[in-house]
Amino acid sequence: MLKQSLQFKLQQKLSPQQIQLMKLIQLPTLAFEERIKQEIEENMALESSSESDDDFNDDPFDNIEVENFQDDDEQENQTENDEFNVDEYLFDDDIPDYQTQTNNYSEDDDNDREIPIAAGSSFHQYLTSQLDTFTLTEQEYFIAEFLVGSIDDSGYIRRDVADIVDDMAFTQNVLTTIAEVEHLLHTVIHQLDPAGVGARDLQESLLLQLKRKEPKPARQLAIKILDQTFDTFVKKHYTKLIQKFDVTEDQLKDAIREIEKLNPKPGGSYAGSNKEIEHIIPDFNIRVVEGELELTLNSRNAPELHVSATYNNMLRGYKESKEKTNSQKEAVQFIKQKLDAAKWFIEAVKQRQQTLYVTMYNIMMHQKEYFLTGDVMKLKPMILKDIADQIGMDVSTISRVASSKYVTTPYGTKLIKEFFSESMTNTDGEEVSTREIKNILEMVIGEEDKKKPLTDDHLTEILKEKGYPIARRTIAKYREQMDIPVARLRKIL
């Protein structure tokens, strides 16, 4: 049975302008600059100026103004054929550039805007170039080149040889055998530099590196340990190793030192140095001036944007013309769309600056003791909701500001989200940050006897004695977050 009815719903939807603002807020400085360049390329009505004006006010927000796109002597004499008021899109040429700027950035901010690009051959190009030093048939060279292409950035071949044989047959129409691939793997790939490259696992890589070195007793013992008792070595059952190989503790120590000198990621020594360097451009700068904190916004987050004067002149010409053709009206409609987009973007940039500054200012004041002293123990518990409630914004907005953004402090450049942490109550009834607990845990582990490292149960007892009643599973969670292994794997001879 069909039935018609009226239903009222109350829904909240973000406008295109709000979506644009949210996307701008979450961008770090470099990505924000690229976004501005993209907008300027796509919208001819939007322009940036390289000129600056030193006539700033003291308040960082007094000068964050958008161009006034309405004429002071606004007229309402719209003709019958006009579809919109042209006067609303005209702006005063005499408005100074500083009205589209903000001064909430450091005067000493002279960051080089030219980002250097790393050049040079890639890791795989380096390996392929070494194949020319071997005498190989055409098929052997192709197989060796295919194997080089199967090596990841860490220097390992993670695929099974049988899969590689099938892959070459189906995708490259090259028929070979597992025996031929294995032979080239051992006689060619494993001879390439850096030593250990092309291994299938860590054990094979370490053995390849040791066998390249000049033989001596400690290295020979290390080879036996890795070859015959790799699992026992990984689990650090040193007593079993001493008994199996009938060696002294000092001899085992020498062998372990030889293994510790090896590179677990042989490809990283080359690939890592040839990757493009990631440049961190801080979004904020905090300085301590006469015992007070001073926050400034990076000038690269405060671009000088304005609407093109050319478009303004075109509108004036349209307004002053007596006869308005259809082609002129279509052109003006196009101009209107571009001007609207330019105004929206400039307003979004302005709001982005305000949001970034207000959010970081409240974070700074919440963690004032830390920024004044640099003592990590002074960090207070702080979650996103704390800052959101202070400035009257949504938690998602604070999350976007804290994500992927950095601040320069007298104690180094920090990721903003590092200042956020949960809280717990100590035995004195005070709320302390989990960062403080992690630092104490790291300090206790750093001072332990490595011959008898502390278990999680022992760590739990020590922290309780220090006034932090934490469960053992919480200790294990914090330890894993700090990439600290269990007690057995921290043991040394």
Q: Point out the least confidently predicted range of 8-22, 145-159, 182-196, 250-264.
A: 8-22
User: Is the pLDDT higher at 301 or at 417?
Assistant: 417
User: Whole-angstrom Cα distance, residue 273 to residue 100?
Assistant: 42
- Integer-rounded Cα Rg, in Å, for the chain is 33
Upstream peptide bond of 194 is cis (omega within 30 degrees of 0) = yes
Structure tokens at 488: 């057995």
- pLDDT (0 to 100) of residue 206: 92
Q: What does residue 289 show for φ and ψ, rounded to 5 degrees?
A: -115, 110
Confidence class of residue 487 from pLDDT cuts 50, 70 and 90? confident
Instruction: Give the pLDDT confidence score for residue 68 in this predicted structure.
Output: 38
> Residue range 38-45: average pLDDT?
83
Average pLDDT over residues 64-89: 43
Which of 316, 344, 342, 350 shows the shortest CA–CA distance to 47?
A: 342
Cβ-contact 402, 384 below 8 angstroms:
yes
H/E stretch holding 413 reads strand 412-415
- Which has the closest alpha carbon to 263: 330, 195, 364, 183? 195
Contact (CB, 8 A) for 233 and 226: yes
Strand partners, 423: 433
**Per-residue pLDDT tens for 188-240?**
999 998 899 999 999 999 999 999 988 899 999 999 999 999 999 988 888 89
Distance CA 454, CA 235 (A): 16
Structure tokens at 191: 């001879």
Position 400, amino acid: R
Q: Give one word for 17, left, alpha or beta, with left for phi > 0 and alpha for psi -120 to 50.
A: alpha
Tokens found for residue 38: 């993209």
**Residues contacting residue 44 through CB under 8 Å, at least 6 positions apart:** 308, 311, 338
Which has the closest alpha carbon to 446: 470, 465, 462, 434? 462
325-352 confidence digits (pLDDT tens): 777 777 777 777 888 888 888 888 888 8
Report how far residue 184's alpha carbon sits from residue 165's, in angstroms, rounded to the nearest whole number.
Answer: 12
Residue 148 contacts residue 142 (beta carbons within 8 Å): no
Strands 412-415 and 406-409, by their bridges, are antiparallel
Residue 18 half-sphere exposure, CB side, CA atoms within 13 Å? 7
pLDDT class for 411, splitting at 50, 70, 90?
confident
Percent of the chain with pLDDT over 90: 20
Angle at 444 between CA 439 and CA 448, to 5 degrees: 150
Report the pLDDT averaged over residues 154-167: 91
Residue whose entry in the numeric block shows the structure tokens 């190009």: 125
Asked whether 297 and 105 are in contact (CB, 8 A), the reply is yes
Asked if 401 contacts 384 with a C-beta cutoff of 8 angstroms, the reply is no
Of residues 106, 108, 51, 49, the one with CA closest to residue 298: 106
Specify the pLDDT at position 225. 92
3-state SS assignment for residue 433: strand
Separation of first and last alpha carbons in the chain: 83
CA distances from 111 to 107, 282, 298, 299, 353 (A): 11, 10, 9, 9, 18
Angle at 254 between CA 249 and CA 259, to 5 degrees: 120
pLDDT range class, residue 64, cuts 50, 70, 90: very low
The mean per-residue pLDDT over the stretch 76-93 comes to: 48
Evaluate whether 174 touches 184 at the Cβ level (below 8 Å).
no
pLDDT, residue 378, reads: 82
From residue 270, alpha-carbon distances to 30, 158, 397, 403, 491 in Å are 27, 19, 40, 31, 31
pLDDT value at position 430? 66
Model-level pTM greater than 0.75?
no
CA pair distance 476, 113, nearest whole angstrom:
44
Please check the confidence at residue 440 and state whether its pLDDT lies above 70: yes
Q: Residue 70 pLDDT > 60, yes or no?
A: no
Residue 86: the pLDDT is 53
The secondary structure of residue 223, as a DSSP letter, is: H
C-beta atoms surrounding 284 within 10 Å: 28
Helices 138-149 and 161-171: angle between axes, nearest 10 degrees: 120
Alpha-carbon distances of 423 from 131, 267, 382, 420, 480, rounded to whole Å: 57, 41, 8, 10, 18
Nearest CA to 192 out of 184, 201, 200 is that of 184
Asked if the model's pLDDT at residue 472 lies above 60, the reply is yes
Whether 108 has a pLDDT exceeding 60, the answer reads no
pLDDT exceeds 70 at position 71: no
Sign of CA dihedral 235, 240, 241, 247: positive
DSSP 3-state assignment of 295? strand
Is pLDDT of 1 > 60?
A: yes
